[in-house]
Amino acid sequence: MASSAMAQGFGGFTALMPSFSSSNRLQLGFSKHLPEWKGSSIVIRLDASFSQSSNSRKRASKLVTSAVVVKDETATSAATSKTGHELLLFEALREGLDEEMERDPRVCVVGEDVGHYGGSYKVTKGMAEKYGDLRVLDTPIAENSFTGMGVGAAMTGLRPVIEGMNMGFLLLAFNQISNNCGMLHYTSGGQFTIPVVIRGPGGVGRQLGAEHSQRLESYFQSVPGLQMVACSTPYNAKGLMKAAIRSENPVILFEHVLLYNLKEKIPDEEYVCCLEEAEMVRPGADVTILTYSRMRYHVMQAAKTLVNKGYDPEIIDIRSLKPFDLHTIGNSIKKTHRVLIVEECMRTGGIGASLRAAIIENFWDYLDAPIMCLSSQDVPTPYAGTLEDWTVVQPPQIVSAVEQICQ
């Protein structure tokens, strides 16, 4: 009985494991006989086939095989389970992290003020008391070195979750992330895997100043060997955190400073999101709007105006910044023939720029209008509130862009 229920298109999705026959079942979780992972992971693709990498061990599923997510028009909630619990995004991240740490003793957290202080955004609050100082490690202010240490530990099989207190601080660790984290699997001919998760808040906040409003996804996107995802709701935050930790590849999980207090009801059952998949936020017919992270909410706000004006936008939260989920995106473009990308990166060299290139390369024949890309201005983020607002894309600009595309 290996069926996986995949929800496509409508509503959300979930990528979950099929359940296996009892003869092959292996107990998971806090197993006394700790299974040795040999780089196995099960990836569920949208066409309901699944592939396993070599040396796989079948895992018994305590996971729900079909926590299908049904979205209503406003696409705000993510769970239909009658039970389910409400929490804030940072709590969802913590829940995901906690569950993974319980499940696998090799998962540890490394970062500044993550332990006793509880994390500067409270993501790791209470975890040092639960797991001890070595598993939730308070580091000195030395990003370059502790990121390197995380990569080194991962080379031997540990699975560190490295936190940058603000993504911008990870610029100090760029060498470690690009050269070691991204490349070691390749340069060693596959001997070493680097199953780290590098996470932290980034993006333009509320007047945090230029150096604390960085969007690092544009800098990391061309590093081969890295995978990048951006969470935007408590549901996908927990799911992506868990998936990222389970992944054998280095994953950078981009959180956003302004989204930590979003509240949502998420399922009680365990679930994992697919790292490479985009999320259909609002199905539509007129135009495909591709977005991620905080801009999703600006797009949703613009959507209210657009719907009132008679437009029917299809909104996709791309979530996977590297690689792009061209399947979902492509299906949408084949339906609507118009694309608007709304992102928070700078115009020059951002995620939008790459996405636009990828779409042109793959779906040129399906486009009826030039792809529009709304990005932040190519300026350091100013401190003054009004200037900062003009730096990022605002809902009225999204509305006028759609009107322009749909002419």
Partner 1 sequence: MAPSLSKLLRTAATTAKPPSWNGLRAACTRSISSESYSDKTTITVETNLPFTTHQCEPPSRIVETTPAELMKFYADMFTMRRMEIAADSLYKSKLIRGFCHLYDGQEAVCTGMEAALTRKDCIITAYRDHCLFYGRGGTLLEVFAELMGRKDGCSHGKGGSMHFYKKENGFYGGHGIVGAQVPLGCGLAFAQKYSKAEAVTFALYGDGAANQGQLFEALNMSALWNLPAVLVCENNHYGMGTAEWRAAKSPAYYKRGDYAPGLKVDGMDVFAVKQAAKFAKEHALKNGPIILEMDTYRYHGHSMSDPGSTYRTRDEISGVRQERDPIERVRKLVLAHNIATPAELKDIEKEAKKEVDDAIALAKECSLPDSSELFSHVYVKGFGTEAFGADRKELKGLLP
* 254-275 burial: b if 16+ Cβ within 10 Å, else e: bbbbbbbebebbbbeebbbbbb
Which residue, 75 or 393, has its beta carbon nearer to partner 1?
Answer: 393
Over its C-alpha atoms, the chain yields an Rg (Å, rounded) of 21
Q: Pattern of binders to partner 1 over 364-383, x per CB under 8 A?
A: ----------x--xxxx-xx
Instruction: Check if 143 is active-site.
Output: yes
Q: Please, what is the minimum distance in Å from the beta carbon of residue 302 to partner 1?
A: 14
Q: Tell me the two tokens of residue 17.
A: 């494991």
Which residue, 161 or 401, has its beta carbon nearer to partner 1?
Answer: 401
Cα gap 323→310, rounded to integer Å: 33
Which residue, 140 or 310, has its beta carbon nearer to partner 1?
Answer: 140
Which residue of 65, 81, 120, 301 would you call a contact of partner 1, by CB under 8 A?
120
Instruction: Check if 33 is active-site.
Output: no
Q: Which of 91, 100, 212, 217 is catalytic?
A: 212
The SS3 call for residue 309 is coil
Cα gap 251→150, rounded to integer Å: 13
Spatial neighbors of 338 by CB under 8 A, at least 6 apart, are: 286, 287, 288, 367, 368, 369, 405, 406
Q: Which of 91, 99, 100, 143 is catalytic?
A: 143
Q: Please, what is the minimum distance in Å from the beta carbon of residue 207 to partner 1?
A: 4
| Residues of this chain, 142-161, that bind partner 1 according to CB under 8 A | 142, 144-145
Which residue, 176 or 236, has its beta carbon nearer to partner 1?
Answer: 176
Which residue, 61 or 397, has its beta carbon nearer to partner 1?
Answer: 397
Cα separation values, 297 from 4, 75, 262, Å:
31, 11, 11
Q: Candidates 17-25, 70-78, 88-96, 138-146: pick the segment binding partner 1 (CB under 8 A).
A: 138-146
Cα gap 251→228, rounded to integer Å: 6
- Residue count, binding to partner 1 (CB under 8 A): 40
Q: Candidates 14-22, 139-147, 150-158, 311-319: pick the segment binding partner 1 (CB under 8 A).
A: 139-147
Q: Please, what is the minimum distance in Å from the beta carbon of residue 201 to partner 1?
A: 13
The SS3 call for residue 152 is helix
Which residue of 46, 208, 289, 303 would you call a contact of partner 1, by CB under 8 A?
208
Q: Tell me the two tokens of residue 176.
A: 């470690």
Which residue, 320 or 376, has its beta carbon nearer to partner 1?
Answer: 376
Cα gap 46→44, rounded to integer Å: 7
Cα gap 274→280, rounded to integer Å: 13
Q: Please, what is the minimum distance in Å from the beta carbon of residue 403 to partner 1?
A: 12
Binding of partner 1 at residue 407 (CB under 8 A)? Answer: no
Spatial neighbors of 80 by CB under 8 A, at least 6 apart, are: 68, 69, 70
Active site residues: 143, 212
Residues that bind partner 1 (CB under 8 A): 112-113, 116-118, 120, 138-142, 144-145, 168-169, 171-172, 205-212, 374, 377-380, 382-387, 390-391, 397, 400
